Amino acid sequence: MFAISPLFVCAALALLRTTSAVGTPFGLAAGTTGGGSATPSVPSSLAQLTTWLSDSTPRVILLESIYDFTSNEGTTTGTICKPWTCSPNPQVAIDANSWCEDDEPSAAKSTATWYKAGTTPLAVASNKTLLGKGSSGGIKGKGLKISGASNIIIQNIQIVDINEEFVWGGDALQIDGGSNIWVDSNYFQNIGRQMVVTGYGAVTKTTFSNNVFNGQSTYSATCNGCHYWTAFFTGNGDQITFALNYLYMTSGRGPHVGGFSGYFQDIHVYNNYFVSIEGNALDPEIGSKILLEGNYFNAVTTPTLTGAGQTYIPTTSAQTAACSSLLGRACVANVLLNSGALLAGTDTGTLNGFTASTYKSASIMAASAVPSYVQAHAGVGIVN
Ligand SMILES: *[C@@H]1O[C@H](CO)[C@@H](O)[C@H](O)[C@H]1NC(C)=O
């Protein structure tokens, strides 16, 4: 056993309160109830799952197996382009909404065939809990989309295998406006585009926690077996907690925040374990304020890009102490092992975005405890 620090005990007790099926959301999503006390029900078909997710009845939808949408809508053949010329196995891009002409006009074009199901996600309405049982509940070949809905829990499911060769082949989870959303203990792998993405509407009171973002993939925009399109938070007014997640073998957008002039985001990134990232983790762009504390970077080529976003990533005692005047507590230092240097993260103006009580009272363990904790708790098969 590793030594248990007092801060670790606080975090452990907070999680121990979560003994019921779905536990207790924390961070900005605190108070989220999803389908509440509705009787958990197992959908009998892809069609029933689709209906239950999108109707106006509060529901607890229990997935005991993988719902495989992959070939359910057949295939389509169309134009692709090849913006990445690296090898081996570059991703290609479906020419969706003239993206190839507009963004990659010099890329070679071709035709290819992909599964239609991946390009149209399942709508998720308000007051839903989507809960996996054990480690074998989930959705394959199609993702989820929340559009302006609230009070949603997505927990303990796999979302995997969505046209992984094809950018614009599908996202695992899109949120375009919404609040009180808890995305906890899920597993993402082999996705064409984003594992998770917000925008353009504000996504508030939302926590992504204990998720595994497994970037290990055959096809990659960076041709190194590591998925580039991990997490992208770009809604206009996003306020998100991103904690206790396990990012493994990704190569970009871990997360990417901001990028649209006039939009703003406040993202609290703590106690995540970043491992074997052959590329960049944080990508801070215009409009963003991002506070990283107590994260552990292990073999990360570029822990953060430079960028127009505001970032605070303390690693020294003077830097952790500088949080006290605005947060009423010291921040928790980040740790880097066998990783590149931080290219950003000393802008104390960032802290102006993190004065709400949620940030002040967050239970954050020492970064040194994060690798063991996250490996034991992130992903499916733990909470239910
Ligand atoms: C969700 O549940 C709340 C509380 O019961 C209710 O007020 C609200 O109308 C529901 N939302 C939808 C879209 O059904």
- Residue 56: CB within 6 Å of ligand 1? yes
Q: What spatial distance separates the first Cα and last Cα of the chain, rounded to whole Å?
A: 24
pLDDT of residue 8: 43
CA angle 263, 265, 270 (to 5 degrees): 165
Note down the domain range covering 128: 34-73+119-377
| pLDDT for position 190 | 98
The burial of 150, by beta-carbon neighbours within 10 Å (0-12 exposed, 13-18 middle, 19 or more buried), is given as middle
Do the domain assignments include residue 168? yes
**Could you give the residue numbers annotated as active site?**
253
Q: What is the mean pLDDT of residues 27-37?
A: 96
Residue recorded with tokens 């394959």: 140
The Cα–Cα gap between 366 and 348 comes to: 21
CATH code for position 123: 2.160.20.10
pLDDT mean over 271-295: 98
pLDDT band at 11 (very low <50, low <70, confident <90, very high): very low
23 or 263, greater pLDDT: 263
**Strand 138-140 vs strand 108-115: parallel, antiparallel, or unpaired?**
unpaired
CB 195 within 8 Å of CB 170: no
Residue 255 lies in a domain: yes
Distance 22 CA to ligand 1 centre (A): 19
The Å distance, Cα 126 to ligand 1 centre, comes to 7
Q: Answer for the pair 167, 229: CB distance below 8 angstroms, yes or no.
A: yes
Nearest ligand 1 atom to alpha carbon 151: 1
| Minimum CA distance residue for ligand 1 atom 1 | 127
pLDDT at position 180: 98
Q: Is residue 7 part of a domain?
A: no
- Is the pLDDT reported for residue 179 higher than 70? yes
DSSP assignments along 12-67, one per residue:
HHHHHT--SSS----GGGTT--TTTTSPPB--SSHHHHHHHHHSSS-EEEEE-SEE
pTM (2 d.p.): 0.94
Query: In this structure, is residue 98 part of a structural domain?
Result: no
**Token pair 């993405």 is at which residue?**
197
Q: Which of 32, 56, 126 is the best mutation target for the ligand 1 pocket, counting ligand atoms within 8 Å of the beta carbon and taking the most?
A: 126
Number of compact structural domains in the chain: 1
- For residue 7, what pLDDT is reported? 44
The closest of 189, 185, 156, 184 to 172, measured between CA atoms, is 189
pLDDT for 22: 74
In tens, the pLDDT along 353-366 reads 999 999 999 999 99
Q: Across residues 35-40, what is the average pLDDT? A: 93
* 266 lies in some domain: yes
What confidence score (pLDDT) does residue 343 get? 87
The confidence band for 163, taking pLDDT boundaries of 50, 70 and 90, is very high
- Whether 89 is in the pocket of ligand 1, judged by its Cβ within 6 Å, is no
> What average pLDDT does the chain have?
94
Please check whether residue 27 lies inside any domain of the structure: no
Ligand 1 contact via 127 beta carbon (within 6 Å):
yes
Quote the pLDDT of residue 240: 98
Is the confidence at residue 145, as pLDDT, over 80?
Answer: yes
The token pair at 115 is: 């599964």
pLDDT for residue 65: 98
106 Cβ below 6 A of ligand 1: no
Does some domain include residue 66?
A: yes
Which among 60, 127, 150 is the best mutation to test ligand 1's pocket, defined by most ligand atoms within 8 Å of the CB?
Answer: 127
Q: Report the residue among 37, 56, 147, 151 best suited for mutation to probe ligand 1: largest number of ligand atoms under 8 A from its CB.
A: 151
Residue 87 lies in a domain: no
